[in-house]
Amino acid sequence: MAETRRIPLPVEAASAGDLRCVGSCEGWLAVVRQKKARYLGDGACFLVNPFSREVINLPPPFVSTHLVDVYTRSLPIINGSGVVDCTIHAAQYVMSFCKVILSSPPGSGSAYTVAAISVHRNGAKLALWRPGMTSWCICYGGCISKFSDVAFYQGKFYILSKLTTNLFAFEITEDDCGMMVSRVERCVTELPQVKDSYGQRWNMVEWHGKLLLVVRYIGGSEGWHNICKVSVFVVDVSTNPFRFTEINSLDGDCIFISPCSSMSFPACQYDGIEDDLVYFIDGYLFPAKNGPPFDRFVYNMRDCTLAPFAADISDDNFRAPDGRLMSPTWFFPSE
């Protein structure tokens, strides 16, 4: 982490204007172009591989290309209350993506799904897309507006509530009208409490075919030095309520977590990376222009200690030329 270098984007991507990176999947970045005023939403969205120079344009997140053939489905939340409303070919909507995840990278040989969380004017929506679709499938409901983190796992899409540790499982199918959510279920979860902690922050990441929940117990004001405990749990999704098993080893692997992306992989793949460590870039999905720099710290699962890392990298590397704090995203190309 002692050196940084800039990788230019392909011309068609770089010419898009004011760009924000909102996610990554192996060698691919998810990028949006901001309009001049944030309340106007995003102007474009695309996937780009900076090394192969390939660009995949996604439907614009501000207006549908269809004014007819609107298809809507309202789904009650099983084992919960409320509904989730989903619409394909909505006449008009304004989106501002803050986190985009993929079920698998493009070109991996399997069909992939893109899931994007939009937060605009304090309202959150879920947007879903698959290759061949000309517009997003837009979903909204109480379980979406209170999201903490999202993940694909075993063919389902999961949203974790930031108010409770409830997980909401979305089943996605395709019919004659295109991709659509077919079922939403509230999966009750119960986490152990930690003395002297007033809050928790959660992240989900897949590890060796298992779903992990990484929990930071906060004991004071924000900042890594006020974290009183970090726990890593394996989530058993075959039971209801879900069963949590805390682990203290990643069997030679490590985890990287940032506001827009999380990933686990063998530590031996990269020089200078150690096993049984969880590397954090801690921040917000929409950082303030003049906000403080992001915390960068690492948690050692072997001895339960926290320490800063990459302290020798200037905070200027995380800011745009106008001084605005950018959303950092972990990026691990496969080549």
Kindly report whether the global pTM for this prediction surpasses the value 0.75.
yes
C-alpha separations of 46 from 19, 33, 136, 281 in Å: 10, 9, 13, 24
**Angle CA 3–281–156, to nearest 5:** 120
**45-93 tens-digit pLDDT:** 899 998 888 999 998 876 555 556 788 899 999 998 899 999 887 766 7
Report percent pLDDT > 90 for the chain.
Answer: 35
**233-271 tens-digit pLDDT:** 999 988 877 888 999 999 999 999 988 889 998 988 878
